Amino acid sequence: MPELPEVETVRRGLVPVMEGRVIERADVNRPDLRWPLPERMADRLTGRRVLRLGRRSKYILADLDSGETLIVHLGMSGRMLISGNRVGAFHHDHPAAAKHDHVVFHMAGGARVTFNDARRFGAMDLCPTSRTEDHWLIAGIGPEPLGNGFDEDYLAARLQGRNTPIKAALLDQRMIAGLGNIYVCEALFRAGISPLRKAGRISDKRVRTLVPVIRTVLAEAIEAGGSSLRDYRQADGELGYFQHSFSVYGREGGPCVTPGCTQSIRRVVQSGRSSFYCPDCQR
C-alpha cells in the first residue's frame, strides 16, 4: 500500500493540472470501490474548481469551490495518472480507456486525471470542507511526521510505558500519520533500534533520535518519488526510485550495509507484517 512519500509524490504531480483548475466533467464508471461512492458524485464534481490539493496521512484532499472536499485513498493498487498535459515540448496523449479506469476527471486545459484501481481497495468520498478532520476516515489520525505537531517531546510522551514493540507503535496511525512498513523499517535501522524492542523500554535519549531520522527518511523518499515495489506509479506514470536506497527492507539474507558489519539482514513477522533488521546494528 502506498505510504506517505508515495501519496505526497502523487499529490505534487497532480497540483499543476488540478489545483486552480475546473473539473469540466467527471466520469464515474462504477458505484463503488472499497466502499460505495458518494451519491451523485459525477454531478457534484462536474463544473467545480479545485481550490487546493492537500494531503492528510495517506489521503489526498481536493478542496472544491462548492464547499466540499474530495477525499481520495489509493488503496493497494490505485493510481491517479495524468494524460493530455504538456510538459515542456512534449505532449502526453490520452490513452485508450482501460478496464479498471473507475473515475476520470476531465480538467479545463485538456488534461485528464484517471483513477485506475485493479483491486478496488481504494476509496473516494465527499464531505463538507469545514468538517474534513471529523470525517470517519481521517478523525483520530495522529500528527503529520513532517509537521510541527510531531517532535521529540511528543514521541517520548506517547511511547512512555507502552508494552508493544516499537515497530507496531510507529505503525499506529493514531500516534503518527502516514508511516508504513517500509519507512518504519528504514528509520529503525538508521536509529539503531531493533523492531523487536518494547517501545516503553527504549531510553528517552534514543527515542528522541527517532524524530529527525523519521523526517530524513521521509524527505529522501519524497525526493526520490517514493518506492515502486508492485503497483505504485507517480502521477506521470514513472516509477519511484527510493527502493534502490533500501538498507534493510526486502533485503532478507543480504549483507548489512554498515561498514565493518558482517551480519546479514533478518526478517521476522510482527502482527502479520515483515520486519527487516540487522541484529548487530539494531539493539
Report pLDDT digits (tens) over 95-113: 777 789 999 999 999 999 9
3 carries an active-site annotation = yes
- Tell me which of 3, 6, 68, 186 is the catalytic residue: 3
- 3-class SS at 9? helix
Q: What sign results for the dihedral spanned by CA atoms 213, 216, 222, 228?
A: negative
**Does residue 108 form part of some domain?**
yes
pLDDT of residue 244: 73
pLDDT of residue 89: 43
pLDDT of residue 233: 57
pLDDT of residue 235: 63
**For 254, which DSSP code?**
S
Tell me the per-residue pLDDT of 31-78, one tens digit each, with 9 for 90 and over: 999 999 999 999 999 999 999 999 999 999 999 999 999 999 999 888
d(C-alpha 216, C-alpha 190), whole Å: 10
CATH number at residue 199: 1.10.8.50
Tell me the per-residue pLDDT of 171-196, one tens digit each, with 9 for 90 and over: 999 999 999 999 999 999 999 999 99
Task: List C-alpha distances in Å: 173 to 58, 133, 142, 144, 210.
Answer: 10, 14, 6, 10, 16
pLDDT at residue 91 greater than cutoff 60? no
- Tell me which of 19, 220, 273, 279 is the catalytic residue: 273
pLDDT of residue 237: 62
**Does residue 140 form part of some domain?**
no
Of 134, 162, 179, the residue at which a domain comes to its end is: 134
CATH number at residue 43: 3.20.190.10
> Helix 204-223 to helix 181-191 angle, to the nearest 10 degrees?
130
pLDDT of residue 88: 45
**Does residue 88 form part of some domain?**
yes
Residue 24 confidence class, pLDDT cut points 50, 70, 90 = very high
- Tell me which of 11, 44, 55, 58 is the catalytic residue: 58
Instruction: Indicate if 100 and 204 belong to the same structural domain.
Output: no
Instruction: Indicate if 158 and 241 belong to the same structural domain.
Output: yes
Dump the DSSP string for 170-207.
Answer: HH-TTTSSS--HHHHHHHHHHHT--TTSBGGGS-HHHH
195 carries an active-site annotation = no
Instruction: Indicate if 127 and 8 belong to the same structural domain.
Output: yes
**Does residue 257 form part of some domain?**
yes
Is residue 152 within 8 Å of 211, Cβ to Cβ?
A: yes
- Tell me which of 2, 5, 145, 195 is the catalytic residue: 2
**Does residue 143 form part of some domain?**
no
Task: List C-alpha distances in Å: 81 to 131, 269, 279.
Answer: 28, 34, 40
Tell me the per-residue pLDDT of 205-260, one tens digit each, with 9 for 90 and over: 999 999 999 999 999 999 888 875 555 556 666 655 567 789 999 999 999 999 99
pLDDT of residue 96: 74
- Rounded to 5 degrees, what angle do the CA atoms 230, 234, 236 make? 130
**Does residue 142 form part of some domain?**
no
Tell me the per-residue pLDDT of 192-209, one tens digit each, with 9 for 90 and over: 999 999 999 999 999 999
Instruction: Copy the grid coordinates of residue 101.
Output: 479506469
First-to-final CA distance of the chain: 28
d(C-alpha 202, C-alpha 68), whole Å: 44
Count Cα neighbours of 92 within 13 Å in the Cβ-side half-sphere. Answer: 17
- Number of other residues whose CB lies within 10 A of the CB of residue 221: 25
* Number of domains comprising the chain: 2
Instruction: Copy the grid coordinates of residue 244.
Output: 534502490
Domain region containing 93: 4-134
